[in-house]
Structures are given as structure tokens and as C-alpha cells.
Amino acid sequence: MKKRVVITGLGFITSIGNSRAAVLDSLRRARSGIEIFPDLPQEPASPRVAGTVKGFTFPGMAFDDWTWPAEYTIERNDLRSMAPHVVYAYCAMVQAIAQAGLRPEQVSHPRTGAMCASGGSMWMIYEHLHKMMREGIHKCYPLALPAAIPGTLNSNLAAAFHLKGAVLGFASACASSAHALGYAYDLISQDRQDVSFVVGAEDCTVYNILPFAGVRALSVVSDPEKTPAPFDAKRDGFVGTGGAAVVVLEALESAQARGASIVAEVLGWGEAADGHNVMAPEPDGEGLARAMTSALEQSGVTPGEVDYLNAHATGTGAGDLSEIRAIRRVFAGGRVPFVSSTKALTGHGLCLAGAMEAAFTALALQEGFMPVSAKINQLDPACAGVPVLTKPVDAAPQVALSNSSGFGGANVSLVLRKW
Amino acid sequence: MDTVSLTPEQEAKLRESFKRCSPETVAAILRFRNQQDIGAVIEVVNGVIERYLKLAPGETLATKSDCTKLGEDLGIDSLTMLEIVMAIEEALDFRIEDSEARAIRTLGDVRHYVDDRVHGRPVSLATVETYERDRICLVLPQQPPFLFLDHAEIRGNHVKGAYLFRGDESFFAGHFRDEPIVPASIVYEALGQAGCLWVLEQVPKRLGVELPANHVLFVGMDEARFSRRARPGDEIVLELENTRLRAPLVVFNGRVTVGGQLLARVEGLTLAFGDLHEAESAGRTAEPAATLEATAGTNGHYAPARSTLDPETVASF
């Protein structure tokens, strides 16, 4: 007998807001978090904007110089092994724990863990290795590894919050934190954990964003109000972002026993790989379609019941179309849900994206609205047959999907229901 | 050590690296690096360590004793210790080996180590082992009420201990009538007990032998002088330095102070260790483990005494 799983807390450090209230306001008003990012080379034909994270500064590797919003206290002993995205995640965790109403002994409990996803810190890796190779092994910062590697997120959160349950990291690139949420759902529905913090986080630096310019995946539009534009006919690529999102998954009976307020229910999830290419999505979206179909079957939901779909769509030509085809395939012959990509507002958070967008979707269900797909000047005609939300629609969704896809054709679809 | 002044770039880099230290500390680093001012290093070391501590306003390491433990007393964990080691390396421009860093436990260790390094002396780094009364009871054969060590520490060839005369020790009733004075014999007994602790803790490690607690015997003293009297309420501080270790004999020089004032000193305090039953059964008696009452005077001067056990004879065991 599977346990029912609900969301009891959310935490946000994102380009569109550092609190539930700010994020909700940005989603409702379609307020973009994209701005000129001075760290990027400000040259013609070069990406110049990013979904910047406000209220934090990381002027250099000396973590004693880092700053974050005053309402958070991070001890130096915790800080010294953190990367910027772990600082974001720490703050988002504090929010999520507060919203969920979990006491310290419930956070630090064998039945509470964290499913985490980040790409590690490319910045930290670069700087620490550079110093070691240039100045010698004994000049290597002692905490270079825990501060840098993929796994820095789960390692640091486990230590800082004294987590005692299942704590691990996922590495399926841009599907990572969606995978993390799916496996957290499994752990709880199989009664192996009561609470799991699903954490997605990424640095916001040239080191983790600019390499995507190598495959010409980044938008070079310099007007932050016009890019990225998923589903727009003239979209020219994605815009990077960083930050952290935390989704607290909890067994329904645990949440009810605590009297916790419930944000939304997680009904199930599905996953499938394209079996196609290391980077390019399978053009027909066959893999993503299987992930969505599997998710609906696992959740006991028919395609016609889905009201809203938060798309992975990042604003690249190939990716957006592949997803549109996948949606058509899944919902063929029936009602097709409203679709939007909130990445138009936030930018693409890579390993952060899945958890962040699941959190947005949960907020939309709880608050009874559907975020629009912003910055569409002219909808790509190839989207015909799919109701992309270019304008607000006055309807409260009951069931929603959140899609994520990553390198290697990793696809994840999450199913959430209004509580 | 650098004998050349820093380039402006090097100086700027040092200022950046140590910007969270006090201006005085940065100035001390630059004095050491630019003028080879060896006298600045202790200030550098204190200042660098202080940067990693949460000190109360006005609190400073300079006034803290050498015995201050980096871990227990200052809350420095192993990772912070690594940060400190790397910072001191950068400040003083020398490399601290891992084996040396691991042996640094107290402020005294840091200060002695750095002092050795900047003076070009071989590093005589020795860890400090500390003993509270409970642990002393587990090591020594002497037990209350005849144990005159409250706490002790062993650093290399040195042992330092202390004992507070509570006033309720039985001998005060008769030593003397209406005027309690610590018997000189008890003061030397306490020194002997500190020496016994060193023997039981160091000899097995250094010589690779097993040494039961009752296998340490007092042999004798070459010189002993008593300078002042101690009374109930006085805490005597006992210091011994091992000057010779060759089985079965250990020789110490030492002194006893109260509140920094010299109380007594001793040279050639000699203990024997090992299975000495043979010697005793042959009629050559030795005092059990440093008890001195048979040869000690009562007060004031202590008569130089020779043990009945000839060290040469013992050496042939």
C-alpha cells in the first residue's frame, strides 16, 4: 500500500524572488528576473544577461567576504565548505523548514533526509584546482573538495542541518532535481522516510553558465525584457540562472499528525531516457512523451484531467519543439492542458530547474492560477494545437504536470494535485 | 627564511590575505618579512590565531598561557587548525610539515615551534600530555592520602605538576604543634611522584619495555636545597627535567615554586625502574617509589643524601 505524499513547505532563492511571497507576486505579474549580468563578456554576439540572484554577493573565493540577506545566520564553520549555490540552498532550507513547521529534532531525524541536485561548483573547481596546480599541493584549500564537487550540496546540507535520513545527490543534468523529487516521492510512498527535502541549486557564475555558449545554446539577445522567449518564433536560446529551491515532501499521515498545512499533493512521477544523443533532444519528443505517460499512469490520472503543464522549454529551437511534439503525442485526441514555461521569467536553472518549477507548480495549484509563458511576441507556428499561455487564463488548475529534461535525453515528469 | 624585502606585489598580496587580522598583526608580519624582525613572530602567531577565534572584546591570546589547549580551550577544530597552519605558512614564509602540525596541541607548542623555526634551531616539538588527579591515580602507585599531585603535564623531557595543600593532611597535626608547615620531605616526595609519573609514562614508550607501576624506586639525590617554607593553602608547582635515561636509571634536575617564588631545588634526583626484587632480596634496599621520609629532614635545609642502592650495582641488573 503506497503512502500518499504531500508538499508541506517551499523555499526560494531565485531570480524572481527570495521568498514565497515575492515569487508568487513575480509569477502572477509575469515579472522577469533577467538582467544584464556584468560578469559575462559584454560584447556583441555574446550572451550578456542572466537570471541574477539578488541580495547575495560572492566577490571572490574568500568566503569571509561573501554576503547574504541579514535574516539568515550562517556560521563560519558551515560556510567554509560551501559554494555559492549551497549558501542559496541553506537560506531556502531555512524558509522551507519554517513553512513546514518542522522542529529541529524533526529535521535531524532518521526518517528525514534530503534529495539534492546541483552541478557542483564549476567556479570552485576551477579556482581551487588552478591554485593547487600553480602553487603546489600544500597550498590547496583543505575544504576544496566538499566546497566544489557535485555532492557539495548534499554534503553541506547534511552537516549544517544535522540530517540523519537518506541524503544523496542526483546528477542527470537539467533533470536532476526533478529526479530528486521523484525519488523522494518513492522513498516516502514506500514508507522508507517520512520527510524529504528536495533541493535543487546552482551557482550563478560565468563558470557554470558560459560553457553553454560553446554549443550556441545561450541567447545573445541583450534586452532582459525580451529573452529568453520559450515558444516564441524568434527564440534564440536560453538564459542561465542560479539560486535554490526547496520542496518539502512529507507522508500525508505525518503531515496530518503534525497539523502541518499542506501546499499540494504529489500524485506520482515518471521518467524515461531518449536513447538518442548526449545533448540534443530526440526531435519527436518520444522519450519525454513516455515519461509523461508513465507519470500519469503511476498517478492514476488520465491525460484529460491535466489542467496545466509547466514545460521544461528553455528557449532553444530544438528543445522547445521536441517538447511540443511530446505534449501533442501524450494528449492526442483529448483536451490538451495549458502550457507555459516559467523559464521566460527565471532563466534556466539547470540542476535547480526541476525543483524550482515543481515548487512554482505547487504554488500555482495552491493559489489557483496558471503562470503565463512570458516574452512571446509571436508564438512559433510549430506550437499549433498546444494552448501556450501567452496571456493569463482565469482558471484554477486542479492537476498539473512539471517537465524536466537533461543531457543524454533524461526526461522526468512530475504530477501534482491541488490540496 | 627570506632575507630579501618583499616586492610591492608580495606585500599587497600579504595585506589582502591577512586583511581580517588586526593592523598590528599585519604590521608584525611585514616587520618579520621585510626587516627579519624575529621578535615579531609571536605577535604574528597570536594575531593569526586570534583571527579564527571568537574572542570577547579586549581578550587576547598574548596573555594566555602556554598550556592553553587549541582544541579544548580555544575551540579550534582540525579544519580550522589546517587553516591556521596554512595562514602561518603564508605569513612567515615557511612550510610546516603535517607531522609537525599534528603534534601542535597548545599555544606553547605553536610558540615554541615557530620560535625554533625562525631561530634556525632543530624543532624540538613534543606533544604535551596532561593529567588530572583521576588519571594520575590510575598511573601512579601512590594513592590518596599519600598522593601529592593534583595535575601534571609531560612535555618531552619535562614534567610539571602542582599540588595544593588543603590543610587537612594528617601531618599538619604534628608538623608542627600550633604551626602547620609542609614537611620538606613531603615536598621532595611530591617531586619524586612527578618524576615517577614521567618514568611510568615515558620509559615504556622510549625503551619499548613494560613497566608495572610498582617497578619504580627512589634511588637518591645529589643536591637538594630548601629556600622557604610552605603552609596550608599554598600550591606548590613542581618542575623536573630529565637529564639522563639509561636503564635502569633516570636522573632529573628540578625545582619547586610557590606563587613564582623558589621553594626548593634538586639536582640528580635519581629513580630506578624495572624488576628490582632481586636487588632487594640480596639485601640492598631501595625506598618504594620515591618515598623519602627515611632520609629527609624535617624543615629548612635538606641534607644531601645518597641511596643505599649503589647506582653502579643497579646498572648491572
- Express each pLDDT in B51-72 by its tens digit: 999 888 888 898 888 778 899 8
Contact B284, B210 (CB under 8 A): no
Per-residue pLDDT averaged across A100-126, rounded? 98
**Which residues on A lie below 8 Å from B20 (Cβ)?**
64
Of A232-246, B124-138, B279-293, the one with minimum mean pLDDT is B279-293
The nearest alpha carbon in chain A to B83 belongs to A142
Give the pLDDT confidence score for residue A232 in this predicted structure. Answer: 98
- Closest CA relative to residue A412, chosen from A301, A325, A287, A316: A287
Looking at per-residue confidence, does A90 or B293 come out higher?
A: A90
- State the count of interchain CB pairs (< 8 A) between A and B: 15
Per CB-CB distance under 8 Å, the chain A contacts of B82 are 142
CATH of domain A5-418: 3.40.47.10
- pLDDT value, residue B283: 47
Residue A148 contacts residue A120 (beta carbons within 8 Å): yes
pLDDT digits (tens, 9 = 90+) for B6-25: 999 999 999 999 999 999 99
The pLDDT of B181-210, averaged and rounded, is 92
Q: How confident is the model at residue B297 (pLDDT cuts 50, 70, 90)?
A: very low
Question: Which residue of the set B175, B215, B277, B301 is catalytic?
Answer: B175
* CB within 8 Å: A139 and B20: no
ipTM over 0.85 threshold: no
State how far residue A129 is from chain B, nearest Cα, in angstroms: 17
Asked if pLDDT for residue B303 goes beyond 50, the answer is no
CB-CB under 8 Å, A138 with B79: no
What are the residue boundaries of the structural domains of chain A, listed by start? Answer: 5-418
Q: pLDDT at position A1, please? A: 81
For B97, nearest residue in chain A (alpha carbons): A138
* B277 given a catalytic annotation: no
Q: Do A143 and B20 touch (CB under 8 A)?
A: no
- Whether residue A77 and residue B82 make contact (CB cut-off 8 A), yes or no, is no
Least confident of A30-39, A308-317, B77-86: B77-86
What's domain B8-118's architecture? Answer: Orthogonal Bundle (1.10)
Average pLDDT over every residue of B42-57:
93
**Which whole number is the average pLDDT over A151-156?**
98
Which phi and psi angles does B243 have, rounded to 5°?
A: -110, -15
How large is the angle between the packed helices A176-189 and A353-367, nearest 10 degrees? 60
Q: pLDDT value at position B108?
A: 82
Contact of A142 with chain B, judged by CB distance below 8 Å, is answered with: yes
Locate the domains of chain B by residue range: 8-118, 129-307
**What's the whole-number mean pLDDT along residues A171-175?**
97
| pLDDT over threshold 50, residue B292 | no
Contact B80 A77 (CB under 8 A): yes
Please provide the average confidence, as pLDDT, over all residues in chain B.
84
Residue B310 has pLDDT above 60, yes or no: no
Q: Is A73's Cβ below 8 Å from some Cβ in B?
A: no
**pLDDT attached to residue B296:** 34
Retrieve residue B208's grid coordinates: 619499548
Q: CB contact, 8 Å: A77 with chain B?
A: yes
Best CATH choice for the domain B129-307 from the list 3.30.499.10, 3.40.50.2030, 3.40.190.10, 3.10.129.10 = 3.10.129.10
- A window 285-324, beta carbon within 8 A of B: none
Separation in Å, CA of B210 to nearest CA in chain A:
39
When pLDDT is averaged across residues A277-288 and rounded to a whole number, the result is: 94
Distances (CA, A) of A127 to A37, A226, A267, A293: 20, 33, 43, 43
Q: Are A15 and A243 in contact (CB under 8 A)?
A: yes
Q: Does A134 contact B at CB distance below 8 Å?
A: no
Question: Cβ of A80 and B83 within 8 Å?
Answer: yes
In this predicted structure, what is the pLDDT of residue B281?
A: 60
Q: Are strands A112-117 and A167-169 parallel, antiparallel or unpaired?
A: parallel
Q: Which of residues 25-64 of A touch B (CB under 8 A)?
A: 64
Please write the tens of the pLDDT for every residue from A65-100: 999 999 999 999 999 999 999 999 999 999 999 999
Work out the mean pLDDT of chain A and round it to a whole number. Answer: 97
Which range is least confidently modeled, A266-280, A340-354, A377-391, B195-209? B195-209
pLDDT at B125: 65
If you average pLDDT over residues A130-135, what whole number do you get?
Answer: 95
- For residue range A188-220, what is the model confidence (pLDDT) as tens digits? 999 999 999 999 999 999 999 999 999 999 999
Whether B290 has a pLDDT exceeding 70, the answer reads: no
| pLDDT of B105 strictly over 90 | no
Which residues of A does the annotation mark as catalytic? 174, 312, 348
Tens digit of pLDDT for each residue in A221-245? 999 999 999 999 999 999 999 999 9
Order of strands, sheet of A195-202, starting from the edge strand that comes earlier in the sequence: A167-169, A112-117, A195-202, A243-251, A5-13, A264-273, A410-418, A399-406, A308-310, A338-340
- Which residue type does B309 have? L
Which ranges in A149-220 belong to alpha helices (H)? Answer: 152-160, 176-189, 206-209
